[in-house]
Each structure stands twice: as structure tokens, then as C-alpha cells.
């Protein structure tokens, strides 16, 4: 089955700096890669996603890149703000779109 690894497990950055979180997946059949942000006491919120036929996608300060050959994808957050502090989960999904496999999560702290 699919296995998703995520690094780093914790990340601290100064406000205004960039943050990068990397995920690798094992199943070459996976073709959809969402990123979720989870704040304390809340459910995961979708922040960006990418499909396997696209190499990069941007939404304001957030971007995701995908390297299908190497089977890894990354989340890039620029000009970080304290409200970006949260746990971020990557996920991979294959032909059975229901079956998301989540990475273990990255706790991002943005220091003012």
C-alpha cells in the first residue's frame, strides 16, 4: 500500500521568512496530493492541492511542487506570518480517491 513520509517534523521560522515542507510517497499510481493545515482544536483545512499532471501550483503565498519521477512533493510558504503557525499534513491518493494516506505532519511555528 501507499506510504507517505514527511519532513521535517517540526519547523521554526522567523516571521517573513519562507518555510518548506517535503513529502515523499511510495505508490507510483498516486495521482492527487492535497495539503491540509490543522490549527489547535480544529479539523484539517485544505490549503492547496496538486494533480499528477501538473508540476507546480500557486495560490498567493502558498505553492506546491510535484516531482513524479522522484515521487516527492513540497509545500512552500513565503512571507510567513504568525497565523501560519499550525500542523501541516500532506496526503497522497490514487485511483480510489477516497483513500487518502496522510503524512505524519509538520508542526510549523512562526516566531514574531
Interacting residues with other proteins (CB under 8 A): 31-32, 34, 36, 41-46, 49, 51, 89, 93-100, 102-105
Of 44 and 110, the one with the shorter C-beta distance to other proteins is 44
Q: Which three cell numbers stand for residue 6?
A: 514527511
Whole-number minimum distance, CB 84 to other proteins, in Å? Answer: 19
Return the DSSP state at 82: G
Of 51 and 61, the one with the shorter C-beta distance to other proteins is 51
Whole-number minimum distance, CB 8 to other proteins, in Å? Answer: 14
C-alpha closest to that of 30 among 96, 75, 90, 88: 96
Amino acid at each position: 500500500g501507499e506510504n507517505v513520509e514527511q519532513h521535517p517534523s517540526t519547523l521554526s521560522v522567523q516571521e517573513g521568512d519562507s518555510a518548506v515542507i517535503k513529502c515523499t510517497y511510495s505508490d507510483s499510481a498516486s495521482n492527487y496530493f492535497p495539503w491540509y493545515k490543522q490549527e489547535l482544536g480544529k479539523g484539517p483545512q485544505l490549503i492547496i492541492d496538486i494533480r499528477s499532471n501538473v508540476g507546480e501550483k500557486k495560490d498567493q503565498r502558498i505553492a506546491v511542487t510535484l516531482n513524479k519521477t522522484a515521487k516527492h512533493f513540497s509545500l512552500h510558504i513565503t512571507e510567513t506570518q504568525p497565523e501560519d503557525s499550525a500542523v501541516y499534513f500532506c496526503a497522497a491518493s490514487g485511483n480510489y480517491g477516497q483513500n487518502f494516506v496522510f503524512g505524519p505532519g509538520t508542526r510549523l511555528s512562526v516566531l514574531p
